[in-house]
Chains A and B, each alone.
Chain A
């Protein structure tokens, strides 16, 4: 059995699904942030697999940009999280319903 493109894409889909599950079922803000990172990484994996199979390096450059955006997202996300912790003293998403209409 040789490893094909579809195997990498299926692995990427499984990781994306696990990340979705984490975002939807966990309540701890930090774990939700980590699940989002997991989803970003799953997409990166399919970009790199497609780059290998199209023999095109541009997809790898896109992954580079995704990494930059992920780093910025984590920095701002953690800052928001710290200020929520200071104001509310909780990390539970259920306690954060101030924007509910």
Chain B
């Protein structure tokens, strides 16, 4: 087994284990910390797939910004574990639906794997900042500008949603 295979197996097992812990952990803080682990494993896989810039972005944006935001809210609201009163029937139904989704994806991938392309040789600079920047600011310039409007709208929306509206009677706290 080559180094790439060993790294892939380690990172894949790490990602799946931490992802399982995210959805089974009883406390939200535990979930958020395991999610950091998943993000780091995925960043490692991105490096294996010749996407070093996106790996860096993954660590900075997800582990650095999104998870910190989630943890901040969890601690601000002082969330403790919530009793999960899901009836057994619905729990099994959820498991069944998730399993069915997984099975359908597996079938599609296994049946299609014969027509999947082999690994081609990559041009130099693949996945680096220069190449991505040229596409981002060339072909996808309008989409990029639209993203900035989206982020502005999200920011204004977030501020408007959590702003305390003093006069309205319903919002007592």
Contact = CB atoms under 8 A, between A and B. Distances in A.
Contact of A51 (B49, B57, B74, B161): B49
Interface of B: 1-2, 4-5, 8, 12, 15-16, 19-20, 22-23, 25, 28, 31-32, 35, 38-39, 42, 45-46, 48-51, 53-54, 57-58, 61-62, 65-66, 69-70, 73-74, 76-77, 79, 82, 84-86, 90-91, 93-95, 97-99, 101-102, 105-106, 109-110, 113, 116-123, 126-127, 131-132, 135-136, 139-140, 143, 147, 150-151, 153-155, 157-159, 161-162, 170-171, 173
B80 to A, nearest CB: 10
A14 B139 CA distance: 33
Interface size, A (range): 35 or more
Contacts of A25: 23, 86, 90-91, 94-95, 98
A18 B158 contact: no
B106 A60 contact: no
Nearest to A69: B150
Nearest to B121: A55
B105 A17 contact: yes
Contacts of A9: 109
Nearest to B164: A86
A17 B19 CA distance: 10
Contact of A19 (B19, B39, B84, B161): B19
Contacts, number: 238
Interface in A1-18: 1-11, 13-18
A81 B69 CA distance: 13
Contacts of B153: 72
Contacts of B131: 57
Nearest to A14: B16
A17 B66 contact: no
Nearest to B139: A58
A57 B122 CA distance: 10
